[in-house]
Amino acid sequence: MRRLLLLLLPLALLCACTTAPAEQADAPFSFYYRCAEVAYGGEDGVIRAEAAPLEADADLRTVVLQYLKGPASPELRTPLPADWALESIGLTEGTAELVFSGIPCRSLDRTILNACLARTLLQLPGVQRVSILRSGDGAADVLAAKDILLRDNGMEEQEEELVLYVPDEAQRYLVRETQTVAAMNAADRPAEIVRRLLALPESESAIPEGTALRSVSVENGVCTVDLSSQFLTGMPRSWNTERLAVYAIVNSLTELPQIQTVDLWIAGAPVERLYVLELENGLARDERMIYVPALDGTLDVTLSLTCDTMPLLAQVPMQLTLAEGTSSVQCVLEALLALEGENGLENSIPQGTKILSLKLAGGVCTLDLTAEFLEGCRTAEQERMAVREIVATLSALPEVETVDLLVEGLEPNYRDDSLQAVHTARNYWFVS
């Protein structure tokens, strides 16, 4: 990721584009374009915003296509070269990805283009980075908000923002916060991020108080973080606490483009497992743990998966999008059937299990599953945990009081007859 500095000439060229028109009250969205007469030295001398009407729920594609129509003001012009054409648009894990075709342009023109598109698209909810690629280039330019400077502040102390993820008040998700720090070399950022996480007050962090950083190194996209033994000795035997503590570190570090996975070491040695969480393999970023402000049609639910080393369930908070015409019960159950286990959790429900029918009446959820549900269970324990996963997940919904399970329209012929009486979740099913 490159830092963009739009002021490439001395401050002596202080002038600016003509006064920006007042933004329309009903058009709060800003589209950034290149000034028709570029004047280096001021914040609006190179690029400037133009307010334009935009639907409140406009998605990335809508915004990009409207942007490509160009500015209305004659004082602005599109930064896109005349022969460039849009090939594709996508959004992957917070990165808006744009691919263009066309011949290469001047470095300065490309810099201004990147800044205009990034400033425009970074206003959209869910967009944290913007990737701009011209077909034929070896790599895309990837920009976050901190990578765009709009004025010549070379004589001032440089600052940048670091992104940290911390537990929310309900201790279910991680929330994104930024801290402004003195500008530093890219190689120093990983250690600074971990130090700042460790320095957070106990009330704002799941990481045990007193944990110290021993070392941080990055090689081939893998960041190895070595913490003091207090991380283990001070960690309660709690699945939820350890997942928040570990992924606060993982998700914060993987904000940096040079880091894809994180290996956690304690007191100079790798750690294979905490209470539930498996750490043997490199931990990748988990976007599902990041809280997104709820929109219409968003469900905040709790799915239950099986701990792979003990016959207990771990509760996994998750935000789901409710499709039109789909009930919340069906949405949650479909998410559970599709969920894959990882990092110490497994889904005991056999793959290929499908919903034949689903009814909810008077708080009773009657669920009919295909034969794969029983045929795919290799042991009585897997069968028991599969039943518990379904009952616990559905019982967590406020509208569900009890669950009745059928297989191919009939009462299941379980290996353990006692499962016939399981209709509600029990407290002893869950890991602490």
Span 30-53, average pLDDT = 81
Mean pLDDT of 202-215: 94
Any idea what the Cα angle at residue 424 is, between residues 418 and 428, rounded to 5°? 80
Q: Check pLDDT > 60 for residue 422.
A: yes
Which are the contacts of 362, defined by CB distance < 8 A and separation ≥ 6? none
Residue type (1 letter), 30: S
Helix segments in 130-200, DSSP class H: 189-198
Q: What integer pLDDT is reported at residue 151 of this predicted model? A: 52
* pLDDT at res. 6: 37
Q: What is the pLDDT of residues 358-380, one digit of tens each?
A: 999 999 999 999 999 999 999 99
- Residue 243 is classified by DSSP as H
Burial letters 258-273, b for 16+ CB under 10 A, else e = bbbbbbbbbeeeebee
C-alpha distance across the termini of the chain, in Å: 41
**pLDDT surpasses 50 at 9:** no
Q: Report d(CA 396, CA 328) in Å as an integer.
A: 12
Mean pLDDT on 77-102: 93
Bridge partners, residue 261, by sequence: 222, 284
Q: What is the pLDDT of residue 251?
A: 96
Are the beta carbons of 227 and 213 closer than 8 angstroms?
yes
Residue 43: band (very low, low, confident or very high) from pLDDT cuts 50, 70, 90: low
**Which value, in Å, is the radius of gyration of the alpha carbons in the chain?**
26
- pTM for this predicted structure: 0.64
Give the pLDDT of residue 159. Answer: 83
Q: State what percent of residues in the chain have pLDDT above 70.
A: 90
Q: Quick one: residue 379, left, alpha or beta (phi over 0 = left, psi -120 to 50 = alpha)?
A: beta
Mean pLDDT of 17-39: 64
Q: Give burial (CB, 10 Å; 0-12/13-18/19+) of 58.
A: middle
Check whether 178 has a pLDDT greater than 70: yes
Between CA 35 and CA 83 the distance in angstroms is 19
Helix (H) or strand (E) holding 357: strand 355-361
Q: Rounded CA gap, 420 and 374, in Å?
A: 13
- Kindly tell me if the per-residue pLDDT of 18 is higher than 90: no
Predicted confidence at residue 155, as pLDDT, reads: 46
Can you tell me which residue has the tokens 């530093």?
A: 184
Average pLDDT score over residue span 267-289: 89
